[in-house]
Structure 1
């Protein structure tokens, strides 16, 4: 799809050079974290351990019963350990790490007992126990929980409705700053690790550790390396948002970052506006001079909207149709049309799965499309007003003679008494 030569984007850009190809940012975010995991050995080892523990318990009802019994003896709540999915890696990784953190004492107790047996699975239990009782692995696990917390917040923002392309880079930079701060100030989970870890006794809370238990410095080289790699892959994956004309969209239209000084504001964004107009020259060639003039009017017009969300402010501008901004509005509409996420499409697929179940597999395409459109774009049940729908249903018969309601013929008419119709429908439902 995104190939520069033979992909869909590459083939289209041969004929339309002013197109912009942007990969879904939620997917980009996931790929950047997965790149870091593959590139850092300790993260790759931790991921293999999580997958192995999941398979160890998921493939044996007997072991699940045993670990549940251990949890009851220890009076602990046993959290479900999920599998690591390739599609939703960030979410599944966070849940798996949180489950291991919650169940650490229960799982290590059960693995210790299983490792002492003489069956064929004792070796696997011993290996997983060694990894979970390693101070370096535990430290990495708690650090990764802090990192994934930042990534999860960013991922949720990238999946919001009506996300604009100019909002991506500032939010990504804020996430990188949060990750950088973890080099100098321990996160919530790292603070918990440092509080429970005792190198003198060789314990982490109530869990007996194996192997060396050195003093831990959260600023050590391994922490720096993991954070640097994560930030580097984020920068690499999101580099398109630092290139023209995407970065120029942010400078020209993000009114929340516009300077307050009049002299500075007057010249602010003019070079970036020229870059945008040059890139989309086939579209704005005739209106170029007018757009330059109207951009100054836009700066004054948007001043009262600085407290509003960017999307709502520009949507209001487009819907109002200000005559003095009719040319610059075309550039605004272009900016609003640049999609940077497929989250809404994914939600449509989820809605389709809820609608078309195995018990409703005979729905016609028109019926399915209508129901899907109502489910995705329609009002909520609390806001839905049934009057017009009831009137249309009563008058939409194939023969034009009306419907049978409660055993009586309801004649078609343009003037329908909605109260009487609803009463008849309610009586039918009660019967």
Structure 2
């Protein structure tokens, strides 16, 4: 009785009062659907009959809503006609689709004729369906970088041609012109990475100005850890680390013991004056697991193990001595021997220093507003710090590790003695030489090499020329020749010969004005400069400069927005909602992710689009 479509023909000849009641019912349903979608929770319950004790979120929310308005109470649920309750799941999906469609239309209007880039990532959902997220990056009328989630598309295979076809179809269905495509960003997976057969190459073939800049944020974090594992001893360390963490935190009893030993440890350190008390200080912590899908988790894991080294060893000692099960005792004993080895302690501290140095770069690249020039500066700074660590920090690291070992009664080998592998090879390598050059230097070298390998020569030239527009330090890097080369060589479709001639003179006026303008001086990024031009109205005066800056800012820096989209997907399509169809999931995600747009639409605007559905017109519109 609750299904739409079975509408009595007599209902089409309604009075104004009946139409008004229908509108109230629909508006109430729209409010409830939007609220539930913004929270990412399920609409339906297992049993939605009138006498159900738990009818589901939508019906339950509708019941609460009626208590606050007599007008609503008099027209919903049992007070509504059986064929016009507007509570069926089909109605909920229609309202959801109308709202998602309005969001996508708003994104299209925000972009307009502006140039944009695509950011694409893929992952499996709870039903093991391969889903591809499509995000658009552009600069809005206010000069602000925007990354908007457009759609989630189910792809049956992940070959480059299939993904290329799916992306083109999706953009065309939402009326986006691929002629305005100026950048591509992917997660670096093998099917997207190939120079000739990769996805980015397929787009470059038809749209040569859709430049591919290797997206670095999450991929860089994983690749830096993976690069470190090219060093055999570091690879052994990261193989042992999860086993050690599991042995320490593998049960609730061990976690309770870890907390107790932390409290004892803090009490002793406070009594000895080693640490000080204070608000928020000396909090109880846990040993973190390293996980490839969590930001900075490898750094958190090694840092937490150093911080909780003493309590962790006590937990392992208790298990190895008291546990009744032989396997658990053996695992704890193995983990304890691993933690008490000098090599493990050395690499633990070394990786903390290395990952701490690269972590700031990885975090910087997670920001949606980050521009490519600032990103490259972060890369250069990180590379410089790694080189400095390699050349200057060996002695301080060794002293720190030695002090830590002495504090915890760990045997420090004679560093001047031949390394045990050296004795077998008879090459005379000492312990210090091995840890200094074969482990420490080697681990940093592969990090530096991995960072440098992120960009090819063409992209490096593009970024180098783009840096000539950097407003940092009073436009110190400003170079008219390089900027004109950038426009002529990389954006010939966006600048005619006349534009290039005018650009030279416009740049001269810009350089004479911007460094002394109160709202254009003391800026630290291209993103700030673009926003400043829009706010001051200078974007009209220097329209060619503004056009070039916007083109550079469309270049994607990271796939962080894609990663966040899949985090949202795990919230929306969870184990209890694993039967959601693909369109319903996509509509839910658009509303959940782009909530700031979804909240701007008035009830009347949504009602208008909903009433335009064929079967709704007679019920919701006056004659």
1:296 aligns with 508
* 1:324-373 Cα deviation digits (max 9, x unpaired): 42233322221121122222333344445556667887996797367436
| Aligned position for 1:108 | 313
Does structure 2 retain, via aligned residues, the 8 Å contact 1:165–1:339? yes
Aligned partners of 2:586 and 2:411: how far apart in 1?
63
1:192 shift after superposition: 8.3
Residue 241 and residue 355 in structure 1: after superposition, are their counterparts in 2 closer, same or farther (change >3 A)?
A: farther
Question: For 1:396 and 1:61, how far apart are their aligned partners in 2?
Answer: 53
| Partner of residue 351, structure 2 | 144
CA contact (8 A) 1:2 1:8 kept: yes
Distance 1:323 1:70 in 2: 66
Match of 1:244 in 2: 461
Aligned residues: 384
Give, in angstroms, the shift of residue 100 of structure 1: 1.2
Matched, 1:94 2:299: yes
Q: What is aligned with 1:282?
A: 493
Shift of 1:152: 1.6
Q: Quote how far apart the aligned CAs of 1:39 are.
A: 1.0
Assess if the C-alpha contact under 8 Å between 2:213 and 2:455 holds in 1.
no
Go from structure 1 to structure 2 and tell me whether the alpha carbon gap of 1:72 and 1:250 turns closer, same or farther (over 3 Å shift): closer
Indicate if the aligned counterparts of 2:572 and 2:589 stay in contact, CA closer than 8 A. Answer: no
Matching residue within 533, 554, 577 for 1:317: 533
Q: What aligned pairs does 1:254-403 form with structure 2 within 5 A after superposition?
A: 254-256=470-472, 268-271=479-482, 273-286=484-497, 287-303=499-515, 304=517, 305-310=520-525, 311-318=527-534, 320=537, 322-351=539-568, 353-354=570-571, 368=588, 371-372=591-592, 375-377=595-597, 389=602
Task: Identify the match of residue 204 of structure 1 among 392, 403, 406.
Answer: 406
Show the counterpart of 2:276: none
Q: CA deviation at 1:390?
A: 7.5
Q: Which has the higher contact order (CA 8 A, sep 6+)?
A: 2
Distance between the aligned counterparts of 1:83 and 1:170, measured in 2? 31
- In structure 2, distance between residues paired with 1:204 and 1:241: 52
CA distance in 2: counterparts of 1:127 and 1:358, whole angstroms:
36
- Aligned equivalents of 2:511, 2:250: Cα separation in 1: 62
Partner of 2:442: 225
CA contact under 8 A between 1:135 and 1:213: conserved in structure 2?
A: no
In the alignment, structure 1 segments of 5+ residues that lack a partner are 198-202, 404-411, 413-431
Q: 1:145 to 1:240 in 2, by over 3 A?
A: farther
| Counterpart for residue 157 of structure 1 | 364
How big is the shift at 1:273? Answer: 2.8
> How far has the Cα of 1:257 moved from its partner?
5.7
- C-alpha separation between the residues in 1 aligned to 2:330 and 2:239? 16
- The change in CA–CA distance for 1:231 and 1:366 in structure 2 (over 3 A counts) is closer
Cα distance, 1:82–1:4 mapped onto 2, change above 3 Å: same
Note the alpha carbon deviations across 1:44-66, whole angstroms, 9 max, x for none: 12211211113334555565566
How far is the alpha carbon of 1:172 from its aligned partner?
A: 1.0
**Gap change, CA 1:295 and 1:142, over 3 Å in 2:** same
C-alpha separation between the residues in 1 aligned to 2:335 and 2:472? 51
> Is the CA contact 1:318–1:333 (under 8 Å) kept in the aligned structure 2?
no
Q: Deviations over 1:247-306 (max 9, x none)?
A: 21112x11226765xxx96xx241453144123223323422222222222322331323
Change in CA separation of 1:330 and 1:66 when aligned onto 2, cut-off 3 Å = closer
Q: Which residue is 1:9 aligned to? A: 200
Instruction: Report if the CA contact (8 A) 2:247-2:316 is conserved.
Output: no
Partner of 1:417: none
Q: Secondary structure at the match of 1:243?
A: helix
Cα distance in 2, alignment partners of residues 8 and 395 from structure 1:
40
- Quick one: structure 1 residues 326 and 148, their matched pair in 2 at CA, closer, same or farther if it must change by over 3 Å? same
TM-score where L is the length of structure 2: 0.53
Residues 112-168 of structure 1: CA deviation (Å, up to 9, x unaligned): 454568923444333322221122321221121122112221111111231111111
Query: Counterparts of 1:318 and 1:72 in 2: how far apart (Å)?
Result: 55
Evaluate the alpha carbon distance shift between residue 378 and residue 341 of structure 1 in structure 2; reply closer, same or farther with a 3 A threshold.
farther
Partner residue of 2:290 out of 84, 93, 102 = 84
TM-score, normalised relative to structure 1: 0.73
Partner Cα distance (1:133, 1:365) in 2:
50
